[in-house]
């Protein structure tokens, strides 16, 4: 039997790993909010920007493929366009992904028609952890082999903490093979060897609109955001009054499984949750034992409350504030604790069948198919 010390150490390791992943994803959303800010409010860049789309769909070069979903498409006047893709660190699949993006003829409009990329087009590929020279060479070599005529520009983005305030910083990777952006105000900023910063005080006004990066979100982030933002949209007027007066609900919130496709989308959200994101969120919260899944009754049961374990905020604010960070840490700590000490064990069909056979042979044995899940 593992010692208490070993168990606690394992919990800390799980929490640390999940927290790093959570913060990395948060930085990606900060970077997207920064780009939204500069394209909307920095005069020289905003005056040139026609479209800043953070939910684009690219037409694949082959008809059998699903539309591609990079993080952003920015179109500017004088025939300039940028395709933006931001990542945490290098993955061997990046070469193939960027090659597919580069071969796309353009973005898909709502009616299914294609809007071609502009004459002066480039791909901006951003990393929090800069790849090594061999990885960069493989990227540029692949595009050269495919005969791609527009540049790939690899950048690094990071959140800098300082006494004068936090800022998101973008800088071009100093590789000899790195491409050059088109000559627009935004292109010049990316081309600068010094890079350019965007203060958190500036982009915080648009940050709340980014709940995820187009179609990507990690389960931990989805769980925290559902708890802090989306949960209150599932409450009726009476339940809202209970939360306001007592900090808890008199009875659990019930969310039927067949209602998950109806996602309540807050106003002014640039990239909101989908039904898949809600499912991932509730599953993560279930692993943290803040949510119960009643499989036979086909609904989720959520006990929204305020206590020492977790606090459900009555008023949401920008994710990343002190209150939200505290809630995130608590939820991640609960997940790590139960991951080690009391993980949810799913019943496989094979196991359930064996239990059923044992029950048939021995009628004296009780049978609780979903013990521990309510």
CA angle, 352 as apex, 350 and 353 as ends, to 5°?
65
Domains and CATH numbers, the chain: 29-207 (3.40.1350), 219-341 (no CATH)
- Min mean pLDDT across 2-11, 16-25, 61-70, 353-362 is at 353-362
- In sequence order, what are the beta bridge partners of 198? 168
d(CA 370, CA 257): 17
SS3 for 133? helix
For residues 79 and 187, what is the distance between their CA atoms, to the nearest angstrom?
A: 13
As a whole-number percent, the residues of the chain with pLDDT over 70 amount to 86
Confidence grade of residue 173 (pLDDT, cut at 50, 70, 90):
very high
Q: Which residue has the tokens 């366009």?
A: 81
Task: State the number of CA atoms in the 13 A half-sphere of 301 facing the CB.
Answer: 12
pLDDT in tens, 38-76: 999 999 999 999 999 999 999 999 877 899 999 999 999
Q: CA torsion 52→53→59→61, rounded to 10°?
A: 50
Residue 242 has a pLDDT of: 86
The pLDDT, as a whole number, for residue 64 is: 74
Q: Is the predicted pLDDT of residue 100 greater than 50, yes or no?
A: yes
What's the pLDDT score for residue 315?
Answer: 30
Q: Give the model's pLDDT for residue 305.
A: 65
pLDDT band at 371 (very low <50, low <70, confident <90, very high): very low
pLDDT of 307 strictly over 50:
no
φ, ψ at 270 (rounded to 5°): -70, -45
Cα(81)–Cα(74) distance, integer angstroms: 6
Choose between 372 and 13: higher pLDDT.
13
Mean per-residue pLDDT, 203-213? 94
Q: For 248-302, write each residue's pLDDT tens digit.
A: 888 899 999 999 999 998 888 999 999 999 999 999 999 999 999 999 999 999 9
Query: Dihedral sign, CA of 156, 158, 163, 165?
Result: positive
In this prediction, residue 201 carries a pLDDT of 94
Supply the mean pLDDT for the chain: 86
For residue 324, the model assigns a pLDDT of: 59
pLDDT in tens, 111-151: 999 999 999 999 999 999 999 999 999 999 999 999 999 99
The predicted pLDDT at position 249 comes to 85
235, exposed or middle or buried, with CB in 10 Å at 0-12, 13-18, 19+?
middle
Name 49's Cβ contacts closer than 8 Å, sequence gap at least 6: 39, 40, 74, 75, 76, 186
Provide the sign of the torsion angle of the four alpha carbons 63, 64, 66, 72, taken in this order: negative
> Cα separation of 183 and 80, whole Å?
8
Q: Which helix (H) or strand (E) holds 286?
A: helix 275-287
Sheet strands (E) in the chain: 49-53, 72-76, 80-87, 106-108, 114-116, 120-127, 152-160, 167-172, 196-199, 253-256, 291-294, 299-302
Rounded to whole angstroms, the Cα distance separating 295 from 343 reads 17
Q: Strand pairing of 253-256 and 299-302? A: antiparallel
pLDDT at 318: 33
The DSSP-derived string for 3-22 is -HHHHHHHHHHHHHHHHHHH
| 313 pLDDT higher than 50 | no
**pLDDT at 314 exceeding the cut of 50:** no
pLDDT band for position 304 (cuts 50, 70, 90): confident
* Position 190 pLDDT exceeds 60: yes
- Residue 374's pLDDT is 36
CB 286 within 8 A of CB 344: yes
Residue 113 has a pLDDT of 94
For the cut 80, the answer to whether the pLDDT of residue 82 exceeds it is yes
Q: Kindly indicate the confidence band of residue 368, based on its pLDDT and cuts at 50, 70 and 90.
A: very low
């Amino acid at each position: 039997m593992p010692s208490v010390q070993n168990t606690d150490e394992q919990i800390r390791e799980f929490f640390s790993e999940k927290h790093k992943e959570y913060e990395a994803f948060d930085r990606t959303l900060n970077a997207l909010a920064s780009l939204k800010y500069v394209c909307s409010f920095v005069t020289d860049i905003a005056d040139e920007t026609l479209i800043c789309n953070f939910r684009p769909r690219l037409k694949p070069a082959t008809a059998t493929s699903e539309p591609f979903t990079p993080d952003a498409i920015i179109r500017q006047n004088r025939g300039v366009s940028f395709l933006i893709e931001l990542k945490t660190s290098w993955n061997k699949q990046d070469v193939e992904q960027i090659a597919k993006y580069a071969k796309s003829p353009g973005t898909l409009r709502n009616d299914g028609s294609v809007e071609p990329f502009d004459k002066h087009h480039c791909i901006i590929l951003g990393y929090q952890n800069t790849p090594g020279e061999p990885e960069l060479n493989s990227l540029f070599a692949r595009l050269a082999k495919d005969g791609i005529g527009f540049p790939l520009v690899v950048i690094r983005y990071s959140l800098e903490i300082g006494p004068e305030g936090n800022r998101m910083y973008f800088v071009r990777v100093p590789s000899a093979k790195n491409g050059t952006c088109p000559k627009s105000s935004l292109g010049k900023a990316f081309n600068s060897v010094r890079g350019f910063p965007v203060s958190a005080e500036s982009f915080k006004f648009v940050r709340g609109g980014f709940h995820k990066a187009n179609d990507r979100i990690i389960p931990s982030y989805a769980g925290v955001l559902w708890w802090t933002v989306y949960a209150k949209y599932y409450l009726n007027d009476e339940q809202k009054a209970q939360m306001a007066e007592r900090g808890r609900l008199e009875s659990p919130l019930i969310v039927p499984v067949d209602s998950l496709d109806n996602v309540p989308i807050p106003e002014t959200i640039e990239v909101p949750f989908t039904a898949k994101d809600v499912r991932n969120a509730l599953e993560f919260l279930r692993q943290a034992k803040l949510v119960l899944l009643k499989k036979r009754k086909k609904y989720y049961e959520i006990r929204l409350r305020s206590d020492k374990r977790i606090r459900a905020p009555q008023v949401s604010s920008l994710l990343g504030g002190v209150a939200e960070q505290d809630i995130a840490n608590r939820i991640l700590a609960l997940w790590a604790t139960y991951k080690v000490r009391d993980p949810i064990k799913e019943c496989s069909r094979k196991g359930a069948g064996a239990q059923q056979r044992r029950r048939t042979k021995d009628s004296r044995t009780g049978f609780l198919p979903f013990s521990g899940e309510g």
